[in-house]
Amino acid sequence: MDTANLVAIDVHTHAEVSERISGDPMWKEMQEASSHYFKGDEHRLSIPQIAAYYRERKMACVIFPVDMEAATGQVRVPNEEVAEVAAENSDVLIPFASIDPAKGKMGAREARRLVEHFGVRGFKFHPSVQEFYPNDRSAYVLYEVIAEAGLPAVFHTGHSGIGTGMRGGGGIHLKYSNPMYLDDVAVDFPDMPIIMAHPSFPWQDEALSVCLHKPQVYIDLSGWSPKYFPPQLVQYANTLLKHKVLFGSDYPLITPDRWLADFEQIAIKPEVRPLILKQNAIQLLGLDKPRPGQE
């Protein structure tokens, strides 16, 4: 990956279309509700198409599925497919995997296999759709594998656009995504980088506190147009957390084009912009270092 010639690195991109398995009709209603909430295009791209989309924009992206099979019965896009297509498009795609913590030791075995044989670079969790508190000890067997590999874990925090407006919120409980639960995880796994995804409404101050207090905790700015960022988030991004805030779009729900256009309009210091857009992600993800076996 030629990071010097990238405009930005988007650390939050969803793989929602598989070329290997049929789409799950159970997911269609939630997709439609999410598109309505985000006022976006309902069209979803395959993973190779996402690679071409980002390559055209001279950007790279972290890409992952979301495993919510245990809680919802909805079939995920295969982690192996994400990793293999990313390997074929390594100039722009950085593969993360998603494993529902409800899968316990079997999930931990899958995580180890994906790290050792498929080169995944991190893991994605969505507590609200996976129905677990991040500090639940049952999830620790999975975190142990991630921490041992020295990889980052992304956790959805705050409000969920998925399920918004649906009857009963689509069955999704917001309580699981309070970022304060990640404080325990940061204490118990001090060497596992944690990325708190999204401005964490209605718990923004909690997220800022955890990020400020724990050295290995970061915040990605995905899922919101920057013009709606809370003032305190902009304040901390400009100052104490300028090395710990990351650009993320939440594609396809929000496109990088829309996000970046709105980012231009908010009061981020000129010297901080390149940190958020690219440099912080390069350092966190180790993109300026050779992978094992590539020295």
116 vs 282: CA distance, rounded Å? 22
Q: Which of 249, 158, 247, 140 is nearest to 208 (CA)?
A: 158
Question: What are the tokens at 241?
Answer: 């957390």
Bridge-based pairing state of the strands 194-197 and 8-14: unpaired
Total-model pTM:
0.92
Mean pLDDT of 50-69: 96
- Does residue 294 belong to any structural domain of this protein? no
Question: Could you list the residue range(s) of the whole structural domain that residue 221 is in?
Answer: 3-285
Percent of the chain past pLDDT 90, that is, above it, reads: 80
Predicted pLDDT at 35: 57
- Does residue 140 belong to any structural domain of this protein? yes
At residue 16, does pLDDT exceed 60?
yes
Render pLDDT for 117-156 as a digit per residue (tens, 0 to 9). 999 999 999 999 999 999 999 999 999 999 999 999 999 9
Residue 171 pLDDT level (bands cut at 50, 70, 90): confident
- Does residue 292 belong to any structural domain of this protein? no
Predicted pLDDT at 126: 96
Measured at the alpha carbon of residue 268, what is the angle toward residues 246 and 193, in degrees to the nearest 5? Answer: 20
Predicted pLDDT at 295: 45
Query: Of residues 171 and 184, which shows the higher confidence score?
Result: 184
The total domain count for the chain is 1
Render pLDDT for 177-201 as a digit per residue (tens, 0 to 9). 999 999 999 999 999 999 999 999 9
Mean pLDDT of 252-263: 96
The CATH number covering residue 139 comes to 3.20.20.140
Contact 40, 253 (CB under 8 A): yes
Mean pLDDT of 235-244: 98
At residue 46, does pLDDT exceed 50?
yes
At residue 284, does pLDDT exceed 70?
yes
Helices (H), the chain: 25-38, 47-56, 69-72, 79-88, 104-118, 127-130, 140-149, 181-188, 204-213, 231-238, 256-263, 273-274, 280-285
At residue 100, does pLDDT exceed 50?
yes
Q: Which of 215, 212, 256 is nearest to 232 (CA)?
A: 212
Predicted pLDDT at 166: 79
Render pLDDT for 210-237 as a digit per residue (tens, 0 to 9). 999 999 999 999 999 999 999 999 999 9
- Does residue 295 belong to any structural domain of this protein? no
Q: What is the DSSP letter of 286?
A: T
- Does residue 201 belong to any structural domain of this protein? yes
- Does residue 73 belong to any structural domain of this protein? yes
**Exposed (0-12), middle (13-18) or buried (19+): which is 262, by Cβ within 10 Å?**
middle
- Does residue 291 belong to any structural domain of this protein? no
- Does residue 165 belong to any structural domain of this protein? yes
